[in-house]
Amino acid sequence: MPRLAIPERASILVKHVNWLGDVVMSQPALRALRRAFPRARLTVLIKQDLAGFFEGAPWLDEVLPYRFGHGWRGIADRLRLSAELRRRRFDVAVLFADSFDAAWWPALARIPRRIGYARDARRLLLTDPIDRAPQVLTGHQVGYRLALLRAGLGISGDPGDFAVDVSAAARSKMQRWLAERRLRPQAPLIALAAGAAYGPAKEWPASHYAELIDRLSSRDGSECVLVGAPSERAKSQAVAAASRSGALVAAGETGVAELIALLSLCDGFAGNDSGAMHVAGALGLPTIGIFGSTRPERTAPLGPRTQVLYRGIECSPCLARDCRFGHYRCLQEISAAEVLGAFDATAGLPQPRTSR
């Protein structure tokens, strides 16, 4: 069956992914789609708690957030979403997400072209099911959705086009937040991400973070701010309390737009393989990604001043949430001194500034 042509002013829906780091790594594909269809109406469908990622992105026409309840309520929510998509009469759905759900809603909405990877038993729900080439499973994930666009729409993108937009309103808000809390406002400000949604096998020890805070403070008076989700606030507070120098704790106080804005005001970042790490790298910060159970060749941070610290011990990468041996050596063996040295290798930390 011949594929339907996409009109110049088509209405295009992108069903986005569900993790912040994956959203960052999908930026080159989303930007490539915008460039290929500059006159189309481009709408991003994304989980409500990630919608703030695009608050500073005027090149998108619409961000459509959603949230589902549990049980029967979740089913009703999905049916309502499909009805809403049908009402909007999209011409094309491009599925960055690989789940069955992500294909089911556009199929129920009768969107004429539905392009996505043929995964999760959803081939029959797609008009353009794309089989994954072997290389998209071994190279960096930035190429995963670029390959989808190339195979499904003949669009080529630039893996280096990963810029993250900063909301002006969120930036002003976080400037005020910092002004009310900083003790040394002229000193460098370093963001740390001590948590990881995936599990403890991605989390550098809290004691190492506390030591790094003290080393940064002793080195040049740097202040640190701990970022993360509400579920990571307790660990962040414990890290700050364990350090002699103390640290600001923003974990749990920022949505995604505010997190991006806060990181844009920082001078460097060190943290676990996490969404915050990916945002920091894409913003151009000196970014040190600390890897444990995951593969840095797949999910290393993007950006011109990034470095990965990784111990390829005999059981790594295990891709597990918890260490099955209980020793977490892949993380324990990375020292705070090593992280500090890695900052030097990424063009170093800036000198204290007279104004911010």
Q: What is the pLDDT of residues 219-248, one digit of tens each?
A: 989 999 999 999 999 999 999 999 999 999
Tokens 């990604």 correspond to 289
Could you say which architecture CATH assigns to the domain 11-153?
Answer: 3-Layer(aba) Sandwich (3.40)
Q: Contact 194/232 with Cβ under 8 angstroms?
A: yes
CA 40 vs CA 7, 11, 33, 59: distances in Å? 8, 6, 10, 11
Q: What is the pLDDT of residues 47-86, one digit of tens each?
A: 999 999 999 999 999 999 999 999 999 999 999 999 999 9
- The pLDDT of 146-165, averaged and rounded, is 95
Cβ neighbour number for residue 100 with a 10 Å cutoff = 12
Q: What is the pLDDT of residues 100-138, one digit of tens each?
A: 999 999 999 999 999 999 998 999 999 999 999 998 999
Please indicate whether the domains covering 11-153 and 168-345 agree at the CATH topology level.
yes
Q: Is the dihedral of CA 38, 261, 62, 78 positive or negative?
A: positive
**Which residues have C-beta within 8 Å of that of residue 1, sequence separation ≥ 6?**
none
* pTM assigned to the model: 0.93
pLDDT reading at 355 higher than 60: no
* CATH number corresponding to 168-345: 3.40.50.2000
The domain locations on the chain are 11-153, 168-345
- More confident call, 249 vs 334: 249
pLDDT reading at 215 higher than 80: yes
In angstroms, rounded to a whole number, what is the distance separating the alpha carbons of residues 138 and 49? 29
Q: Contact 181/248 with Cβ under 8 angstroms?
A: yes
Q: Contact 187/176 with Cβ under 8 angstroms?
A: no
Q: What is the pLDDT of residues 16-35, one digit of tens each?
A: 999 999 999 999 999 999 99
Q: Is 109 helix (H, G, I), strand (E, B) or coil?
A: coil
- Laid out side by side, the sheet with 11-15 consists of 62-66, 41-47, 11-15, 92-95, 113-117, 128-130
In angstroms, rounded to a whole number, what is the distance separating the alpha carbons of residues 275 and 345? 22
